């Protein structure tokens, strides 16, 4: 039973195309995230949803649009792909901690996007 699953694992596409990555978690967590990992392995938060509501939206081009149909799913749609969008995109989930702060994140295996 995969806790956080994301599909597809690999995406190769041409500049200008639109693509989507899907994520599902079966942990019952209330918060889900999208992180982007660049070629130097630096991880940057893109979006965070809590119970289907957007709570974090970092400086990300509006070509990126997250959608959370329910608290177990968080999808990422990217319009008009550019070369610089090539990266590994990670979905993650967590449960709120009493006393504040963020608890342990559970990550998916990543979706490697290559834009040609």
Q: How far is the CB of 31 from other proteins (least distance, A)?
A: 6
Q: Which is nearer to other proteins, 49 or 85 (CB)?
A: 49
Residue with tokens 């070509």: 63
Q: Which residues of 83-100 are buried (b: 16+ CB within 10 A; e: fewer)?
A: eebbbbbbbbbbeeeeee
Q: Which residues contribute to the site for other proteins (CB under 8 A)? A: 4, 31, 33, 35, 40-45, 48, 50, 55-56, 90, 92, 94, 96-97, 99-110
Q: How far is the CB of 110 from other proteins (least distance, A)?
A: 6
Residue with tokens 């989930």: 93
Q: Which is nearer to other proteins, 14 or 41 (CB)?
A: 41
**Rounded Cα distance, 86 and 84, in Å:** 5
């Amino acid at each position: 039973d995969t806790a956080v699953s994301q599909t597809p694992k690999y995406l190769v596409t041409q500049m200008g195309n639109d693509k989507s990555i899907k994520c599902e978690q079966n942990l019952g967590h209330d918060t889900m995230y999208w992180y982007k990992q660049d070629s130097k392995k630096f991880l940057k938060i893109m979006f965070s949803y809590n119970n289907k509501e957007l709570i974090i939206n970092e400086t990300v081009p509006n070509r990126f649009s997250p959608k959370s149909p329910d608290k177990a799913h968080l999808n990422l749609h990217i319009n008009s792909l550019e070369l610089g969008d090539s990266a590994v995109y990670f979905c993650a989930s967590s449960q709120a901690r009493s006393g504040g702060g963020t608890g342990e994140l559970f990550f998916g295996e990543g979706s490697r996007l290559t834009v040609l």
